[in-house]
Amino acid sequence: MPRPHEDLQRHTSTDHRAGGTIVALTPDSWWAIEVAHVAAARAVAQIASYETLIEKARASATNAREAMVLRSRDDRRVIALLRLDGHESFRHLASAWDDHHLVAEGRAIAESRSLALYRLSTTAGDPFIDPASTDAYAFERVARSGERVRAVAALLAGAPGFRGTSFFGTDDDRASAIVYRFTHAEEIEAFRATPEAQGALGAVGGPGEALYPVYAVRTFDKI
């Protein structure tokens, strides 16, 4: 049996077990997404922090549902996605997470982080997050409207190795997030390098934009 991780900042015992169930991403659902930039040596600590925060949110008035924690292949990014009921739930979550981060500042786990509320607008293929899968996943955030980003769905259908994708957009429609699922990581890179994908999404690595090859560390099914 795994030993529980002791979160000394909150004095709660959280059993941090990798894995979890398959999580289906469905259109019109609301998601809080936070991306933390960390030193590679602190990735495990950031994952543990998010697991504790998610478990607390699921047991609180925030009324959180499914969730997942993703870790970039280079160990420099940890991404938390948590399904909520909407704006009011997000307000409660943001307040709780801000408080937690302020208390934990002395540990300096994250170099920077960004939390925003997104609506999952469109999916294509099999929009599932499966921590047991050997498929390749990637998370991308772009400064593009949802309409422009959703146009990529038609391009993905014929892309080699494509398995599934989910498109999220912010309320102000100024930014979008994409979760890709392909058979191999190289196929994601190849698709993203095509002129058609760059025309819709812009070049990889533009200001405020990033593409991270990731894998699912932990998922939480709906309560």
> Domains (ranges, CATH) in the chain?
28-220 (3.30.70.100)
Strand partners, 12: 7
Residue 72 burial class via C-beta count within 10 angstroms: exposed 0-12, middle 13-18, buried 19 and up:
buried
Closest CA to 52 of 86, 8, 89: 8
**pLDDT given for residue 1 in this prediction:** 36
Share of the chain above pLDDT 70, in %: 85
* H or E segment and range at residue 60: none
In this prediction, residue 207 carries a pLDDT of: 61
What is the pLDDT, as a whole number, of residue 157? 85
Maximum alpha-carbon separation in the chain: 51
pTM for this entry: 0.86
Regions of the chain where pLDDT drops below 70? 1-18, 99-108, 206-208, 223
pLDDT tens track for 171-216: 888 889 999 999 999 999 999 999 999 888 888 876 667 899 999 9
